């Protein structure tokens, strides 16, 4: 974030590398608080980058009339963070790189090194300046550029033979058809890898790894915590009980989590034949949790009920549950809203309580069944009807969760 966005010209690459090296040296020599050290280092870099604006007094941003240098630098810092986040997400979307969640580093996927080399060797480094808007749009939308590894038929066939040696390639197959065939094979292999993961999870072979990943999420030692929370919750739900558990997050070609679920669907959907369950997870806290999650969670559940035409519930998981969310979900237990398909049984639980439920599933002397899940959510309905406020209901259902397998 601090240095990457300063690379506005590829010829400045070595200069930026040296800046990063100097930062690492200063970090190693720093004996104080790292968070403070990083903030001060960022402040110095921003003052250098925007020195001309600061000197000329051009420090008022579009969002506010506050022209103070502090506000100006805070806005620029926020913008840099957002742009850096977008850059990394775009990079990950190419499926050419791996992200080390613990080491917080980027590396090229070993199987994609040849693709990356081809791209670098066939991409012009000189910028293309276009003043005409129509030509600019045509340039951006041209599917023929840049030239990719898969645009070379000989190299693509070679890649297919290496990755899928049993596959027969007809000389009459067009390049476009060959690309589609390759993509289909990659998708089938990914689904097979995920199926193997699910088998290992259901046998509780992944329990220790799931538990340690939750610990890392709570400690915030991972790079993309929202993604890892979504992925690990899917693994936990798969292990928890029987049923068809589907994660709506995006996986890479090797079955590893790549990006979170889109905004128009539940994070996880569970089909238990007689009923269904949506699972929503978030790292949001405070009032922001209610503002960003309250309505979408309800809408996703309603959509799921319409599509499946069966009883359905929702489990909402966050490190901490905001009071507004408790009140909102409690009220929805009792409010018959046609737009949401009637009443909505949405149970919010702290992540620590959900982890306890997973541990209980592992420690039980029997394999939990879908009936245990449904019993828990029906108990939430009973508590909502027997209590006169959200606090008593929430406390009651939390206790039920802590003892959800008690017969």
Domain match, 238 and 171 both? no
Which stretch of 50-54, 112-116, 364-368 has the lowest confidence by average pLDDT?
364-368
Compare 318 and 75 and report the one with higher pLDDT.
318
Place of tokens 């939308």: 141
Q: Clarify whether residues 217 and 182 are in a common domain.
A: no
CA distances from 216 to 33, 305, 355 (A): 21, 34, 13
Integer CA distances (angstroms), 115 to 94, 108, 152, 256, 370, in order = 11, 10, 11, 19, 45
Query: What is the Cα–Cα distance from 254 to 342, expressed in whole angstroms?
Result: 41
Domain assignment present for 132: yes
pLDDT band at 241 (very low <50, low <70, confident <90, very high): low
Are residues 131 and 157 located together in one domain of the fold? yes
The CB-side HSE value for 139 (13 A sphere, CA atoms) comes to 10
Give every strand in the sheet of 244-247, ordered side by side: 244-247, 268-271, 276-281, 312-318, 346-350
Whether 45 and 168 map to the same domain: the answer is no
- Residue 99: inside a domain: no
- Confidence category of residue 70, pLDDT binned at 50, 70, 90: confident
Task: Tell me the C-alpha to C-alpha distance, in Å, between residue 375 and each of 66, 399, 406.
Answer: 55, 14, 11
Range of the domain at 31: 4-93
One domain for residues 395 and 295: yes
Position 226 scores a pLDDT of 94
Total domains in the fold of the chain: 3
In a domain, 338, yes or no: yes
Using 50, 70 and 90 to split pLDDT, how confident is the model at 35? confident
Residue 64: name the closest of 76, 53, 55 by CA. 76
User: Average pLDDT, stretch 303-317?
Assistant: 95
pTM greater than 0.85:
no
Q: For residue 365, report the phi and psi dihedrals to the nearest 5 degrees.
A: -85, 15
Q: Are 236 and 228 in contact (CB under 8 A)?
A: no
330 pLDDT above the threshold of 70: yes
- Span of 136-140, 282-286, 366-370 with lowest mean pLDDT: 366-370
Q: Is 283 domain-assigned?
A: yes
In a domain, 199, yes or no: no
Mean confidence (pLDDT) of the chain: 90
pLDDT of residue 114: 92
Inside any domain, residue 360: yes
pLDDT digits (tens, 9 = 90+) for 197-235: 998 888 888 899 999 999 999 998 888 899 999 999 999
Nearest CA to 90 out of 77, 78, 100, 99 is that of: 99
Same domain as 229, residue 137: no
Pair (299, 391) in one structural domain: yes
């Amino acid at each position: 974030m601090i240095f990457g966005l300063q690379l506005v010209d590829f010829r400045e690459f070595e200069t930026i590398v040296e800046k990063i090296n100097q930062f690492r040296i200063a970090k190693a020599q720093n004996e104080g608080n790292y968070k403070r050290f990083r903030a001060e280092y960022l402040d110095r870099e921003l003052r250098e980058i925007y020195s001309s604006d600061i000197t000329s007094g051009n420090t008022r941003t579009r969002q506010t009339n506050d022209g103070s240098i502090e506000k100006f630098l805070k806005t620029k810092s926020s913008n840099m963070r957002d742009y850096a986040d977008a850059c990394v997400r775009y990079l990950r979307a190419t499926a050419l790189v791996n992200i080390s969640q613990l080491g917080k580093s980027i590396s090229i996927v070993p199987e994609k090194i040849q693709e990356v080399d081809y791209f670098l060797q066939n991409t012009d480094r000189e910028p293309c300046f276009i003043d005409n808007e129509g030509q600019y749009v045509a340039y951006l939308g041209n599917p023929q550029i840049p030239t990719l590894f898969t645009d070379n038929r000989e190299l693509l066939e070679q890649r297919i033979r290496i990755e899928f040696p049993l596959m027969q390639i007809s000389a009459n197959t067009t390049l476009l058809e060959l690309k589609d065939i390759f993509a289909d094979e990659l998708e089938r292999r990914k689904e097979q890898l995920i199926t193997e993961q699910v088998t290992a999870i259901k046998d509780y072979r992944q329990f220790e790894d799931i538990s340690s990943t939750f610990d890392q999420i709570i400690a915030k030692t991972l790079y993309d915590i929202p993604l890892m929370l979504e992925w690990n919750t899917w693994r936990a739900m798969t292990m928890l009980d029987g049923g068809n558990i589907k994660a709506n997050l995006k996986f890479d070609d090797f079955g590893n989590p790549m990006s979170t679920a889109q905004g128009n669907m539940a994070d996880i959907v569970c089909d238990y034949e007689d009923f269904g369950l949506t699972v929503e997870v978030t790292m949001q806290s405070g009032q922001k949790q209610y503002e960003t999650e309250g309505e979408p969670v309800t809408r996703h559940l309603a959509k799921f009920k319409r599509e499946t035409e069966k009883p359905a519930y929702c489990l909402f998981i966050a490190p901490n549950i905001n009071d507004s969310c408790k009140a909102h979900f409690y009220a929805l237990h009792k409010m018959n809203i046609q737009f949401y398909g009637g009443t909505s049984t949405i149970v919010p639980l702290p992540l620590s309580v959900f982890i306890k439920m997973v541990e209980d599933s592992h420690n039980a002397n029997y394999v939990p069944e879908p009936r245990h899940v449904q019993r828990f959510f029906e108990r939430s309905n009973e508590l909502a009807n027997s209590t006169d406020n959200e606090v008593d209901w929430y406390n009651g259902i939390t206790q039920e969760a802590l003892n959800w397998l008690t017969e």
